[in-house]
């Protein structure tokens, strides 16, 4: 169900994005960092679904707060002439990898247990 929602969302979003007007180059840095923040939030959401502690409010607020905060940090960095967005990037991408590891482990475990179950049931049938 969730996987279908993700795929459908991505397809619809891509269609909208292809037909939407492009933004000025000056603001493209902000959009880029917001995209990375949103990506991190989505990965975090999937992880929490797997861990079964998913909270809708936390997810939605996290999605928007992360994006807005990262944009604000990038803007501040531009004012101060320091690449603060790099720090945000490191955090987001680092967390994405952690979440990806959790998701991967979950599915690998699921797969393994299915195989062992099959083997067990096969053995039982033989007996």
Partner 1 sequence: MNNKNKISLVIGGMCILLSCGIAIQVRTITGIGSTTGSNNTENTLRDSVLRTKEDYDNLYEDLDKAEKLLEQERNNATENNTELSELQEEIKTKNTQLGLTDVTGKGVIIELDDNHSVSANSIGLLTDPNSMIVHDSDILYVVNELKNAGAEAISVNDQRIVANTVIECDGSVIKINGVKVGAPFTIKAIGMPETLKNVYRTQGYLWNLKYYYLLEVDFQTSENITIPKYTGTYKFEYAQANN
Question: Of these, 26, 53, 79, 123, which contacts partner 1 (CB under 8 A)?
Answer: 26
Residue 31 sits at the vertex; the CA angle it makes with 28 and 35, to the nearest 5 degrees, is 140
Q: Is residue 13 involved in binding partner 1 (CB under 8 A)?
A: yes
Residue 53 DSSP class: -
Q: Which two tokens stand for residue 41?
A: 């939030």
Nearer to partner 1, 13 or 122 (CB): 13
Residue 49 backbone phi and psi in degrees, to 5 = -65, -45
Contact call for residues 36 and 70 (beta carbons, < 8 A): yes
**What's the gap between Cα 123 and its chain centre?**
40
Residue 36 Cβ, how far from partner 1 at the closest point, in Å? 10
Nearer to partner 1, 25 or 126 (CB): 25
Question: Of these, 5, 52, 79, 127, which contacts partner 1 (CB under 8 A)?
Answer: 5
Residue 38 backbone phi and psi in degrees, to 5 = -65, -40
Q: Is residue 17 involved in binding partner 1 (CB under 8 A)?
A: yes
Which stretch, 14-22, 90-98, 100-108, 115-123, contacts partner 1 (CB under 8 A)?
14-22
Q: Is residue 103 involved in binding partner 1 (CB under 8 A)?
A: no
Half-sphere exposure of 88 (CA within 13 A, CB side): 28
Q: Is residue 54 involved in binding partner 1 (CB under 8 A)?
A: yes
Residue 71 Cβ, how far from partner 1 at the closest point, in Å? 12
Q: Is residue 69 involved in binding partner 1 (CB under 8 A)?
A: no
């Amino acid at each position: 169900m969730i996987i279908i929602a993700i795929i459908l969302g991505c397809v619809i979003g891509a269609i909208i994005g292809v037909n939407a007007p492009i933004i000025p180059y000056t603001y493209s840095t902000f959009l880029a960092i917001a995209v990375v923040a949103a990506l991190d939030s989505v990965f975090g959401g999937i992880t929490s679904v797997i861990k079964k502690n998913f909270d809708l409010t936390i997810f939605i607020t996290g999605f928007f707060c992360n994006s807005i905060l990262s944009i604000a940090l990038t803007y501040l960095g531009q004012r101060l002439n320091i690449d603060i967005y790099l720090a945000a990037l490191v955090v987001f991408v680092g967390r994405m990898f952690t979440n990806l590891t959790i998701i991967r482990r979950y599915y690998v475990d699921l797969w393994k247990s299915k195989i062992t179950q099959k083997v067990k049931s096969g053995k039982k049938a033989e007996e």
